[in-house]
Amino acid sequence: MQQTDVRSQHLTASGNVDGLSRNRLKSISYRGNGTDGYVRLRNGGSSGAILCELDVGTSDSFTIYVLLPGEGILFSSGIYVDLSNVSATTVFYG
């Protein structure tokens, strides 16, 4: 198995992670703002296919951490994080 470095990026608004380069999502943490919302992880930009979606509930004003199994999710054209009613997120990728 090939070892890769894991990097992180913190976002407070929707945007690209590490440009649009090929990466694997390893884990993510996020904090809601007390209103229903979501975190959508798209392949290749704001209109790309949704490869992972996480719901944010009204009681999620604390930080939630999600560790993905195996090698994570491959984003062949880059990871775009689409946030709705989320205060902040940190994406771990490699």
- pLDDT digit string (tens) for 23-51? 999 999 999 888 889 999 999 999 999 99
Distance CA 11, CA 17 (A): 9
Q: Is there a contact between 89 and 10 (Cβ–Cβ < 8 Å)?
A: yes
Q: What is the pTM of this model?
A: 0.90
CA distances from 3 to 6, 15, 52, 92, 94 (A): 9, 27, 23, 15, 10
Structure tokens, 18: 């590490």
Q: Which amino acid is at 89?
A: T
| Overall average pLDDT of the 45-74 stretch | 89
pLDDT, tens only, 72-89? 999 999 999 999 999 999
Structure tokens at 53: 């979606």
Task: Tell me the sheet residues that pair with 58.
Answer: none
